[in-house]
Amino acid sequence: MPHHIYIICNKETKDIYLFGDDSKRASEYALNLATKQKVNPKNIEISIYRKRQNSSQLVKDYSFLLTDTVEEWTNRQKLEEKMTMETNQNLRQQFKNFVAEFKRFENIVFIDWHNANGSSNCRVNYMINEKTGELHISGDLGSAVFYWYGKNTWQNIASYSKNLGYFLSKAEANSEEGYYDETKARKELEEYFSEENWDNQDIEEDLGCTRSELIDRAMECWNKYGTGEFSSEVFDEDRTVEFLHDNDIYSAGHTVSARERLWAVGLQMILERF
């Protein structure tokens, strides 16, 4: 399953169009509906779902109407790309003096990625089974096992790491589960209810509180079990969590760990050199 699913919905006809990890095709199709098929932009909704790590479950990240402008969506993507690029540049400095040593045994490729001075700090061992599309990572930065279930060269797998979300979605065992950030979780809620054009009256009718109060109540129910999920106690009369789940909000605030990013950056740097 792809890491992201882009869903275009014609709210007037109820037609739904699915796109995998292809935001460009999704946005082009949405524009085509509005320009060539003359669909009112107010009736075109774009939703982005992501695959929950180590699970087939999809969680909605956010959605918006085409009238919220494609420019806003494009600017969001550019900002995210800029932040990712800056983060990767900083992480690359940790591998500044690293070298890669290769060993091959038939379909198995071993790559020892380590500091040229012999230090074991941040050392990473990559083992790739090119016949089965299997990647094992071990070393000073933790461990993980990834599967693509098909023939893939080590170069193929290294190139997949450029799309961090897709790459990490293939991990079936991972010592670095990332972490959940409270500030990010709150921001995701605020953006969701803002982009969904919720007004206070809608929420007050359902829950008897304002949007701001809903978010405060939701955060009180957030990450109780270290999973980033919104959960409530048994027989809890507060309907906040139920309301969130009814609107496909199950968790928030997940942040990829620095070690996971370093695994990907290491593969990218090795690919650039060989």
Q: How far from 268 is each of 99, 122, 265, CA to CA, in Å? A: 13, 15, 5
Task: Determine the 3-state secondary structure of 203 from DSSP.
Answer: helix
Distance CA 192, CA 172 (A): 29
Q: Given this model, what pLDDT does residue 211 score?
A: 84
Query: How high does pLDDT run on average in the chain?
Result: 82
Q: Which residues lie closer than 8 Å to 203 by C-beta, 6 or more apart?
A: 193, 209, 210, 211, 214
* Location of structure tokens 């790309």: 81
Half-sphere exposure of 25 (CA within 13 A, CB side): 10
pLDDT reported for residue 145: 96
The predicted model scores a pTM of 0.60
Segment 248-268 shows an average pLDDT of 88
pLDDT higher than 50, residue 183? yes
- How far is residue 139's CA from residue 148's CA, in Å, rounded to a whole number? 22
- What tens digit of pLDDT does each residue of 155-172 get? 999 999 988 878 888 888
The model's pLDDT over 93-132, given as tens digits with 9 standing for 90+, comes to 999 999 999 999 999 999 999 999 999 999 999 999 999 9
pLDDT of residue 77: 55
What is the sign of the dihedral through the CA atoms of 23, 29, 33 and 35? positive
pLDDT of amino acid 57 = 64
pLDDT at 38: 78
pLDDT band at 71 (very low <50, low <70, confident <90, very high): low
Q: Cα dihedral sign for 53, 87, 113, 160?
A: positive
158 neighbors 267 (Cβ within 8 angstroms): yes
Gap between the Cα atoms of 100 and 152, Å rounded: 20
- Sorted by sequence, the CB contacts under 8 Å of residue 69 that are 6+ apart come out as none
Tokens 């997949």 locate to 160
Say if residues 24 and 6 touch (Cβ distance below 8 Å): no
| Count of beta carbons in the 10 Å neighbourhood of residue 266 | 27
> Is the per-residue pLDDT at 140 higher than 60?
yes
Contact criterion met (CB below 8 Å) for 176 and 124: no
Concatenated DSSP letters of 44-71: EEEEEEEEPTTSS-EEEEEEEEGGG-HH
pLDDT of residue 138: 97
**CA–CA distance, 97 with 119 (Å, rounded to integer):** 10
The pLDDT value given to residue 62: 66
CA–CA distances in Å: residue 170 to residues 134, 149, 165, 181: 10, 10, 9, 23
Question: Percent of the chain having pLDDT more than 70?
Answer: 81
